[in-house]
Amino acid sequence: MDAKTTGRFLAELRKEKGYTQKELGDKLMVTDKAISRWETGKGLPDTALLKPLSEILGVSVGELLAGKRVPPEQAQDETDSIVVEVVRHSRHTAARAAGFCLVIVGILLLLTPLVVTTQSKSGAWALGFAPIGAAVCLFLKKDSGHGKLLYWIGMGCLVLALILELLPFGAVMVMAPSPTERIMRTFSFFDLNVFGYGNFFPLLAGLLTVCSLLIGLFSAFRPLRSLCLRNAVFRCTEAAAVLSFAQIFFGMEYLSVVGALVCVCLFLSAVLQRTGNSQASRS
């Protein structure tokens, strides 16, 4: 199904019937500009209009979407292929809409420090990179030739997450030596002081990150079980991403900029791995 092919066919049928764009639009209760958009391939008629439009022009819905007249003996096969194309087109449209929304959410999060005045040193704004990255993955997902590349970029994000977790700035402890005094200190995700004070999430996230990398490295030497192992890497990364974000339940101040970037890296790694694994399973 091609919008321009359908548009040209629609214009030919309209002229055969002797309708102007306005006359056809009046019959369908749409504007002549809508008819013009369809005929120039800039859009397709709404699904609710396909049946009445095809009846007015004297063709079947399948022929209208195919952009050509179809012999009766080929009608069923042509209709089946059109249905498949319509479903695929709908999925791509939904993916584009979701990607656009994710980009908007990401930009709003990144702009938060400019419009919100707060004494907190929270790095929650850095989470804005996650939806933007997810939107990029949605757009790349349409091209099935990038599966392996996306997976290894995801593993690169995992390595970056581990490096950030090792830095002494990711996990936050807020201590109150007196009712009016609060002291904030930052630690590595692997520092046992944080674990000892009841914040288990950073250490668990760090250990799962290490497990993900070890399983990923092992999968490179086991090609026969590669996809199974890569799915295990994805599950571990997914859990690590959730745990790294869970610190925020103690309060926004418990999420430093480095901690937020760890969340972003783990989230993007999981999305990229999932996309790469999905394409690999279909190939």
Query: Which pLDDT band holds residue 117 (cuts at 50, 70, 90)?
Result: very low
Q: What is the pLDDT of residue 182?
A: 76
Residue 145 lies in a domain: yes
Say if 76 falls within a structural domain: no
Mark which of 70, 99, 115 sits at the end of a domain.
Answer: 70
Structure tokens at 278: 């999905």
Does 44 share its domain with 108?
no
H, E, C per residue of 144-185: HHHHHHHHHHHHHHHHHHHHHHHCCCCEEEEEEEECCEEEEE
Residue 77 lies in a domain: no
Q: Please report, as a single letter, which amino acid is at residue 84.
A: V
Query: Best-predicted range by mean pLDDT among 49-63, 89-103, 130-144?
Result: 49-63
The yes-or-no verdict on residue 113 having pLDDT over 80 is no
Q: Between the CA of residue 51 and those of 8, 141, 190, 264, what are the distances in Å?
A: 18, 33, 63, 47
Instruction: Tell me: do 98 and 194 sit in the same domain.
Output: yes
- In tens, the pLDDT along 148-159 reads 777 788 888 899
Number of domains observed in the structure of the chain: 2
Q: What is the spatial distance between Cα 277 and Cα 283, in angstroms, rounded to a whole number?
A: 10
User: Model confidence at 213, in pLDDT bands (50, 70, 90)?
Assistant: very high
- Provide the pLDDT confidence category of residue 118 given band limits of 50, 70 and 90: very low
- Burial (CB < 10 A; 0-12, 13-18, 19+), residue 90, is exposed
Average pLDDT taken over every residue of the chain? 76
Within this chain, do residues 31 and 101 fall inside the same structural domain, yes or no? no
pLDDT value at position 190? 93
| Same domain (yes/no): 89, 122 | yes
Does 167 have pLDDT greater than 70? yes
Whether 12 and 129 map to the same domain: the answer is no
Cβ neighbours for 36, distance < 8 A, ≥ 6 positions apart: 21
- The reply to whether 141 and 40 lie within a common domain is no
Answer yes or no: do 173 and 260 share one domain: yes
* Whether pLDDT at 126 is above 90: no
Could you tell me which residue, 138 or 51, shows the higher pLDDT? 51
> In the structure, what pLDDT confidence band is assigned to residue 120 with cuts at 50, 70 and 90?
very low
Say yes or no: 14 and 147 in one domain: no
Print the domain residue range for 159.
82-282
pLDDT tens, position by position, 173-211: 887 777 777 788 888 999 998 888 888 999 999 999 999
pLDDT band per the 50, 70, 90 thresholds, residue 64: confident
The terminus-to-terminus CA distance of the chain in angstroms comes to 24
223 and 131 co-located in one domain: yes
pLDDT of 264 > 90? The answer is no
Residue 206's nearest CA partner among 225, 183, 190, 195 is: 190
The answer to the question of residue 202 being in a domain is yes
pLDDT(95) > 60: no
- Note the pLDDT of residue 1: 57
pLDDT > 80? residue 86? no
Q: What CATH number is given to the structural domain containing 27?
A: 1.10.260.40
Res 106 pLDDT > 50: yes
pLDDT, residue 156, reads 87
Characterise 218 by phi-psi region: left (phi > 0), alpha (psi -120 to 50), beta (else). Answer: alpha
pLDDT (mean) for 46-64: 81
Instruction: Looking at the structure, tell me whether residues 153 and 267 fall in a common domain.
Output: yes
Percent of all residues in the chain with a pLDDT value above 90, rounded to a whole number: 11
Statement to judge: residues 98 and 20 lie in one domain: no
Using the predicted structure, report yes or no on whether residue 165 has a pLDDT greater than 80. Answer: yes
